[in-house]
Structure 1
Amino acid sequence: MQLAFCLYKYFPFGGMQRDFLRIAQACQARGHAIRVYVLEWQGEVPPAFEVVHVPVRALFNHLRYRKYTDWVRADLARRPAGRVIGFNKMPGLDVYYAADPCFEDKAQTLRNPLYRLGGRYRHFAAYERAVFGADSRTEILMISAVQQPLFVHHYGTPERRFHLLPPGIAPDRRAPANAGEIRAAFRQEFGLGTDDLLLVQIGSGFKTKGLDRSLKALAALPEALRRRTRLMVIGQDDPKPFKLQAIALGLAEHVQFLKGRSDVPRFLLGADLLIHPAYNENTGTVLLEAIVAGLPVLTTAVCGYAHYITDADAGRVVPSPFEQGALDIRLAEMLSADDDRRRWQANGLAFAARADLYSLPERAADRILQPAADATAQR
């Protein structure tokens, strides 16, 4: 069967983009042809993928997305596909992979009411309704149960159209047999001494991921502990405002910014703690990547995958509503507690061995490739 995947932008270091690639490859491994419609593709194209660059431009992104949709619809009319799978919300999808939180809920609770008078709001609200509206036929692949009640509340989406997937952690994130050797080589490469402590924050979108909160918590550490602690920030985003914040907090020598990269597992093995105090996060795949690498985690309860930290007893979760002081205290406690970090590490590795944290691509492919007649019967 010819499958058509739709996403606005592919780059190798985005969580949703990595999920797309592994799901598409799982479908391809079952003998199906892969066509991908994008506005932008960064990185290598997998063998036998047909990547279609949609040639549309507009002054504003929401206008460009509308042109993208029209262009893709016209191309599909000429070259039909058996299933159309979207990783961004848009009309005309058979299956939608719900990587993003509920736009309508954010618009009503986090934005000024005047925002809902603008063209940008009208566009994204209409595109979300096209997927989640009660009369839509789109099947929805959920990667977190946290957002589902919000979609049901705003759109009355029938429960039968939601399909909750397990996580899909890549096998290369698991701690290998020689994890200790990798850790030692990593720390030597980056000049980390025996008593030095390394925090890592990993993920594109520094503002949403709460990097400002991390910097404040680092600055609030007791002086002796702060002198021993470094923070490495990895992700695709503009670091300038956060570099300025680090300088203002007296942390310039303690913080290092790195672009998205393919050797993230080395950082997970070489660090002492992952910090991820996100403002909002549908899932937070990096939390599970840390667990399976044996890296303790400090995160916020708003993350869809935060419950795994509690389930595994592999770190600490800052409750909602968020308070900076609570993050500051927990960070200081976790960095000071060597025995607790060793216990969290062991708990995470044990959890990684017994829990299904890996089968998302296969289960998503099952749903995507479900015969159309079966899917219709369930509606």
Structure 2
Amino acid sequence: MKLCIVTHKLKKGDGQGRVNYEVAQEAILRGHQLTLLASEVAPEIEQNSKVNWIKISVDGYPSEFIRNFIFAYKSASWLQKNRSEIDLLKINGAITNVAADVNAVHFVHSSWLRSPVHISRVRRDAYGFYQWLYTALNARWEKQAFQRAKVVVAVSEKVAQELIKIGVPRDRIRVIVNGVDLQEFIPGIASRQKLNLPENVNLGLFAGDIRTPRKNLDSVLQALVKVPDLHLAVVGSTDGSPFPQLAADLGISERVHFLGYRRDIAEIMRAVDLFVFPSRYEACTLVLLEALASGLPVITATATGGAELVTSECGIVLPDSDDVEALAAALSSLASDRTLMQQMGQAARAVAQQHSWSTMAQTYMDLFEELQQHEEHSSHPDLSPSSGSISLPFGTASAN
């Protein structure tokens, strides 16, 4: 198969880029020819003889909006000239102007625009207007891209439901949850002293962008007031963040440990007892899977994409991200029962083991190969399907 993936980055350390990195590795392993339209590609993939990297340079442009627009234009220009040489085209959202066979959706901008914590509702200034415009235009372009794709992959059931709301037929949606590195994120014990964290106390963890209210650290801090026997480690840049001051105003600064932006999140997860992340809007967060893989009981909310993975055996899913009383009760129930936390942690690891990066990549490649087989049979109606083949109910939208 001649497979083409269009993505800004294809490397580890980048959410969407990591997904495409793993898919590319699986494609290479299966012997497919791979073309990458990307601005940045990991060296180990770029140097493979089966890979043709078409570099889409966007360096020097002043904003993400303009960089994305230039990327879409340049990638579409290349595809319009070379699309006939490609068997299957995989893209993400509205990243390019050419119709795809598979569009993998990590974020639905129309849903984000309606969120009460969208940046334009929090900041009534030029930056807020810019974010509104950026989201609104992406929502429009995405809807067109989803309608033209043969298959739309949602990274969580939450995203699947959001796609249905904007008119994508359910029978064209596949849910493929993002993966997790089961070797990097693993249960164990790490030195709290080395991490400058308190010893001999119950310790929770919150990780995410703490410069905006979207991740909902404010509710976690308010709930922490009601759980005096629990400390909280917070990973995320404090530059411009209002939450250190909020912790001080609530009188809990001694129990809240702001660690700043960190790259050793896997080690930090081995040093804590539970993970709390009741985000107000999330498509599918990698950090939730990383916590499960680390053997941590998880407290989250239905607004967090991927929350469907958290069973009652391994965590607590709150129906309302802003219910401080329910959040406090959940934190208290775990902090007061170390045996329960240990049992939930074991169940959490078992859930994560079903979602390795390799399992995710294999699922994508199985889908691509099914589509290619279906296309070949459609092109040759005189050939009867082989025994055990799958009849796919996908649309017949073709690429430009």
Shift of the 85–315 alpha-carbon distance from structure 1 to 2, 3 Å rule, reads same
| Corresponding residue for residue 189 of structure 1 | 194
Of residues 147, 169, 188, the one that matches 1:158 is 169
Runs (4+) off by over 6 Å: 111-116
Q: Distance in 1 between matches of 2:369 and 2:38?
A: 22
| Corresponding residue for residue 341 of structure 1 | 341
Q: Is the 8 A contact 1:231 1:256 kept in 2?
A: yes
Q: Deviation at 1:147?
A: 2.6
> What stretches of structure 1 of length at least 5 have no aligned partner?
none
Q: Distance in 2 between matches of 1:301 and 1:64?
A: 33
TM-score, normalising length from structure 1? 0.79
Q: Deviation at 1:71?
A: 0.8
Shift of the 255–321 alpha-carbon distance from structure 1 to 2, 3 Å rule, reads closer
> What stretches of structure 2 of length at least 5 have no aligned partner?
379-393, 396-400
Shift of the 10–209 alpha-carbon distance from structure 1 to 2, 3 Å rule, reads farther
| Corresponding residue for residue 279 of structure 1 | 280
Amino acid at match of 1:232: V
Q: Is the 8 A contact 1:36 1:51 kept in 2?
A: yes
Q: Deviation at 1:87?
A: 2.6
Amino acid at match of 1:187: R
2:105 is aligned with 1:98: yes
Which digits, 9 at most, give the CA deviation of each residue in 1:306-346, with x for residues without a partner?
A: 232225x1122222263123222322332222222122123
Amino acid at match of 2:102: V
Q: State the secondary structure of the residue aligned to 1:278.
A: coil
Amino acid at match of 1:271: V
How many residues are aligned here?
Answer: 359
Amino acid at match of 1:259: Y
Q: Distance in 2 between matches of 1:198 and 1:13?
A: 26
Q: Is the 8 A contact 1:213 1:324 kept in 2?
A: yes
Q: How does 1:1-379 map to 2 (within 5 A)?
A: 1-9=1-9, 12-39=12-39, 41=40, 46=45, 47-48=47-48, 50=53, 52-55=55-58, 60-80=63-83, 81-90=86-95, 91-92=97-98, 93-100=100-107, 102-108=108-114, 110=116, 120=134, 123-133=137-147, 136-155=148-167, 157-173=168-184, 175=186, 179=188, 183=189, 185-192=190-197, 194-204=199-209, 207=212, 208-222=214-228, 225-226=229-230, 229-234=231-236, 238=239, 240-253=241-254, 254-261=256-263, 263-311=264-312, 313-320=313-320, 322-352=322-352, 355=354, 359-372=359-372, 374-375=374-375, 378-379=394-395
Q: Deviation at 1:368?
A: 2.9
Shift of the 33–289 alpha-carbon distance from structure 1 to 2, 3 Å rule, reads same
Q: State the secondary structure of the residue aligned to 2:72.
A: helix
Q: Distance in 2 between matches of 1:144 and 1:24?
A: 21
Which digits, 9 at most, give the CA deviation of each residue in 1:52-99, with x for residues without a partner?
A: 242366555434322221111112345554433223434322221111
TM-score, normalising length from structure 2? 0.75
Q: Deviation at 1:373?
A: 6.1
Q: Distance in 2 between matches of 1:45 and 1:204?
A: 30
**What is the root-mean-square deviation in Å for CA atoms of aligned residues?**
3.5
Q: Distance in 1 between matches of 2:75 and 2:35?
A: 11
Shift of the 348–2 alpha-carbon distance from structure 1 to 2, 3 Å rule, reads same
